[in-house]
Amino acid sequence: MPLESKSVGSGLDRLVLLLLFALVLLASPVVQWWATDHSPWLLPFGIWGLIILLGAVVQRRLDRRDH
């Protein structure tokens, strides 16, 4: 039984790390690197897409462990 709680905990840890990664990319001084006038207009959408994709991958792995 402890193995199951550990696997769910590691999945939740990944979600927390993903949230922190998103905060660093979107709400910190890092924004100045990708939000310049010379960056492509599509870059913010790509960053959001990457965060959503990573969240979906983590969620899928959590769902597989539940079954």
pLDDT over 60 (residue 5): no
CA 40, CA 62: separation in Å to the nearest integer? 34
The answer to whether the beta carbons of residues 34 and 47 sit under 8 Å apart is yes
pLDDT at 67: 66
CA 30, CA 64: separation in Å to the nearest integer? 34
pLDDT at 7: 54
Residue range 13-24: mean pLDDT, rounded: 88
Distances (CA, A) of 46 to 42, 51, 53: 6, 9, 10
Q: Where are the chain's structural domains?
A: 2-66
The pTM for the full model equals 0.70
The model's pLDDT over 25-52, given as tens digits with 9 standing for 90+, comes to 888 888 888 888 888 889 889 999 999 9
